[in-house]
Structure 1
Amino acid sequence: MDQETAMRLLLKGATAFFLDVPSGMEFGIDMMSWATGDKFKGIKMIPQGIHFIYYSATDKYGNTAPRCGFFHNFKKSECLVRKWDPDKEELLNVPREEIAQYKTNILNLDQFLAPYPFEEQTKWNGLSSLLTENVITTLCPETTIIRSAMELFPASKTENVKRRRKWGPIRTDDDVGYDHLPNLVPKAESQFRFTEPPECHYPPGSSLSQITKHSLDSSYILEKMAEKHHNVIDLLAELQFCYICFLVGLNYESFERWKKLFQLYCMGKDAVAQNQGLYVKFLLAVRQQLDTVPEDFLVDIVENNNVIYNGLKELFRTLESGDFVLGDDLKDVTVQLRRFLQQKFGWEFNGLDEDDDDEAPVIINFDEN
């Protein structure tokens, strides 16, 4: 990169200062991470838009703590300043006057700032294309911190009773085997605020045949979940949010929610016919996600439960045999995705018009167990 371009990106791009970060700590933004050095004070040239910043503390023996991260919607020429707290092992906000001090001193501190990894920008843009600040605010925990390991604390007596009622019959106090187990629950402020499905998965007053239809077609569930957002695209953005929290934030709870949303979209037979443009965006999002999923993780998924393969097979069957005219955009993106899946994973989707004797309808259970 020539000096003129670098200076333009420095002044127009955002800058994130991370002060007093220990040397040797894992630190990353979007799709790239590094081990910090003695001179590290932050990242420069950050493109305008939403990004994910994450870190993992390390002790003197080289042991790495669970990953923490947060989303931030960077504005043009914005200066973000956070300082490392060694006791909490977190990056905390600093007073506003300190932010102004670093903003006016960017050129002098340039040597301590790592450049944004532009070589990974296209990949990140594909994964986060639908995310908005409103979606992130809605879904993130109240703390705004995404953690790979859930924060747990001892439950109160009231919570203990509720937990027993949820998970099984209430034991008496003399049930030593049960009552001496640690009863830990997640902190409410650190939990995700995912969109929950309707309690009833079919419209009120449905006949038996209609109930059966809705058990095989998730369009009603998608519709009711989308109504909790500003628009239908925001629910699809939640799919991207969950995947990023899993892939980059290393949060497995997000992956579980991603799978359920993925299945809902794949089983939305009426939804496809009613909003083909939405499904163009869905298939494009899935293509980007499957292009970045860790190979060893994907192999484990495919060999054990085939959630992704079977979901896409059901969707492709709907697109191929549906009683509606398939638009050119949806037809093209479907062909491209099938070609990509065949080349990358060797997945074939032949005989879609034939019933699978060994495949039962997929039942999506959102109840937490």
Structure 2
Amino acid sequence: MARPPPYTVRLDADVAQQLAEQGGTLLVLGLPEGSYFGIDHMAFHVGPRFQGVKMLPPGVHFAAYSVPGSSRHGGGMGPLTGFFFNVEKGSGAAAGGGARGGSSSSGNTHGTVAVRRYDRQQELLVEMPEEEAERYAGGVRRFDFDAGLAPYNLTAWRQWRQLTNCLDVRHVSELQPVGGNICTAAEAAPAAGTAAAGAGAAGAGAAGPGAEVEVGGMEEDEGPESEAEARLRLQLAEGHAARAAAAAAAAAAAAAAGAMDVDAQGPAAASEAAAGPPASSTTTAAAAAASAPTPSTSGRCFYTPLHRLVKTAGLTPAQLTAANMDRSAQLAAAAAAHWGGDVRGLVGELQFAFVAFVFGQSLQGFRQWRSLVTLFLNCESAALAPAPTAPAFAHFLAALRSQLSLALMDAAAAPGADGGGAAADAAGSLAGAGHGALVEELLLGGGGRDCFLRHHLATFLGVLREAAPGEVEPALAAEASELRALLGRLVGWQFDGLELLGEDEDDEYGPVVVELPEGVEV
């Protein structure tokens, strides 16, 4: 029995043709039936005719997929793998990432079309050779694949734009991993070289609870790990273990095949094999491994390094306390070092990390998102006029409100997705596809007083409430009001300055009381 389409796009024929011609197209070839495929915040179960998505609006998009019957995962669903790509405004040309992602306009885009083919051996959607990809792109422009392309749900685009309005192609180029693929299994791999290259990789995944990791030559304390984070980290570790087991099995099979080949060559070859490898074989193997190309799924995102505590040499205790109470200087330094001094660049990075976490199930993405939220909410002077960075805080609160609205609202109430004749069934938003409960738990920490978000929001909103007249820009005040209303409606949080009274005892985020020995005075 045929399943009903999950959503319907109703357009005039002329408008539909114009969108098909001017909008971007992601052509996906060979993705196995029954796979999970997501585009932005919409998801599909892949049917036999599904070949991608058309009518993509301009801007940054995120695609994610997981295939059934994965040989590397015992025949179950493989790990979720995602990648960012960009559709240029005006021409509708779909553009890949930058140099780090290994994608370029010539290698990944063909007019209005981005082409990916599923490689069963790698279990990845990979790019095609240039000439072959251009032939497929020409077929898309001739509407040869139109019956297998699901139209983008244009009614849901507004919500996606709210989630990514500060995220552009530069963020994709600068932040994405080597190869462009964001994958839980890749994050779990302890790649020391990649961690060194990606100074912004905040030690997520491989690091244990409360670990201190080297980031850009400095130690960063990630802080205590929540139970939900531990569960997600365990998922990443299991993914790495599955990959290691698959590699060991492949090596054993290759060794067995080599032994059979030696037997077939006769006694002399067998004697030579029994004598063992040359003494230099270990060194040779190590050199070969070192020179081997990096797998397209290896590596971690190149996030901006952010330190939980400011530990600058030469500061007095009073100055250190002030620097940690108001982290405006750290915010300005991070923006200057990575985004040309534009604090909105950090808001775009916040949006990148959120998408990677919620839609790509990236623990590294969650940790960077949490670090950025904590940094913004612990700024005082930077958020108030006449600081030049003050306008960026309205964008930050708007981004945070959109993210929390998506993560906390019932997935059933979110807009659906349309198979559009492509035999693809909606699985709901990516946030609610079996990952939503964990997302909500990580974001809210159970909603109690130990929730980092609740604590830091209360502090920041208190700063705005106590600011002098004219110091809070109208746009920032409006966004703060909307965020308060959203959290009050969805989770019952109230930020009136009274809700935290009496909750400082044993509070992780409360002030630390140090008892001095007798006779010691400060």
Give the structure-1-normalised TM-score: 0.84
Partner of 1:147: 183
Residue number among 321, 333, 337 corresponding to 2:479 in the alignment? 333
- Closer/same/farther in 2, CA of residues 22 and 346 from structure 1, 3 Å limit: same
Partner of 1:250: 361
Query: Can you list the C-alpha shifts for 1:98-121, whole angstroms capped at 9, x where unaligned?
Result: 222223222122111111122321
Gaps of 5+ in 2: 1-9, 94-111, 197-206, 214-239, 245-293, 410-436, 512-522
Structure 1 residue 86 corresponds to structure 2 residue 232: no
Query: Can you list the C-alpha shifts for 1:290-330, whole angstroms capped at 9, x where unaligned?
Result: 00115634256233531111111110011111346222222
Could you tell me whether the CA contact under 8 Å between 2:25 and 2:56 is conserved in 1? yes
Deviation of 1:196 after TM superposition, in Å, equals 0.7
Matches within 5 A, 1:175-324: 189-197=298-306, 201=310, 205-229=314-338, 230=340, 231-273=342-384, 274=387, 275-294=389-408, 296=437, 297-299=439-441, 301-303=445-447, 305-323=450-468
Partner of 1:180: none
Distance across 2 between alignment mates of 1:236 and 1:24: 36
Could you tell me whether the CA contact under 8 Å between 1:302 and 1:309 is conserved in 2? no
Residue number among 66, 79, 86 corresponding to 2:79 in the alignment? 66
Deviation of 1:261 after TM superposition, in Å, equals 1.1
The one-letter code sitting in structure 2 at the alignment partner of 1:21 is L
Deviation of 1:62 after TM superposition, in Å, equals 7.0
Distance across 1 between alignment mates of 2:380 and 2:319: 14
Matches within 5 A, 1:37-116: 37-59=47-69, 63-75=76-88, 76-77=92-93, 78-106=112-140, 107-116=143-152
- Closer/same/farther in 2, CA of residues 333 and 20 from structure 1, 3 Å limit: same
The one-letter code sitting in structure 2 at the alignment partner of 1:340 is L
Larger mean Cα displacement after TM superposition, 310-319 or 53-62: 53-62
Structure 1 residue 4 corresponds to structure 2 residue 14: yes
Could you tell me whether the CA contact under 8 Å between 2:309 and 2:324 is conserved in 1? no
SS at match of 1:346: coil
Distance across 2 between alignment mates of 1:62 and 1:69: 20
Distance across 2 between alignment mates of 1:353 and 1:362: 14
Larger mean Cα displacement after TM superposition, 333-342 or 87-96: 333-342
Give the structure-2-normalised TM-score: 0.60
The one-letter code sitting in structure 2 at the alignment partner of 1:104 is G
The one-letter code sitting in structure 1 at the alignment partner of 2:320 is I
Deviation of 1:92 after TM superposition, in Å, equals 0.9
What is the Cα-based RMSD across aligned positions, in Å?
A: 3.2
Give the share of equivalent positions with the same residue, in percent: 27
Larger mean Cα displacement after TM superposition, 20-29 or 115-124: 115-124
Distance across 1 between alignment mates of 2:191 and 2:344: 38
Structure 1 residue 30 corresponds to structure 2 residue 40: yes
Deviation of 1:122 after TM superposition, in Å, equals 1.2
Partner of 1:176: none
- Closer/same/farther in 2, CA of residues 62 and 199 from structure 1, 3 Å limit: closer
Distance across 1 between alignment mates of 2:58 and 2:313: 45
Deviation of 1:276 after TM superposition, in Å, equals 2.2
Distance across 1 between alignment mates of 2:77 and 2:312: 49
Gaps of 5+ in 1: 168-182, 364-369
Matches within 5 A, 1:337-356: 337-351=483-497
The one-letter code sitting in structure 2 at the alignment partner of 1:87 is Q
- Closer/same/farther in 2, CA of residues 81 and 353 from structure 1, 3 Å limit: closer
- Closer/same/farther in 2, CA of residues 268 and 353 from structure 1, 3 Å limit: farther
Could you tell me whether the CA contact under 8 Å between 1:201 and 1:220 is conserved in 2? no
Distance across 1 between alignment mates of 2:171 and 2:510: 28
Which one scores higher on RCO, CA 8 angstroms, separation ≥ 6?
2
Q: How many residues align?
A: 344
- Closer/same/farther in 2, CA of residues 143 and 211 from structure 1, 3 Å limit: same
- Closer/same/farther in 2, CA of residues 255 and 200 from structure 1, 3 Å limit: closer
SS at match of 2:401: helix
- Closer/same/farther in 2, CA of residues 155 and 207 from structure 1, 3 Å limit: closer
Distance across 2 between alignment mates of 1:4 and 1:197: 50
Distance across 2 between alignment mates of 1:291 and 1:317: 22
Larger mean Cα displacement after TM superposition, 184-193 or 284-293: 184-193
Deviation of 1:347 after TM superposition, in Å, equals 0.9
Q: Tell me which structure has the larger Cα radius of gyration.
A: 2
Deviation of 1:143 after TM superposition, in Å, equals 1.8
Structure 1 residue 19 corresponds to structure 2 residue 29: yes
Deviation of 1:258 after TM superposition, in Å, equals 0.9
- Closer/same/farther in 2, CA of residues 116 and 62 from structure 1, 3 Å limit: farther
SS at match of 1:228: helix
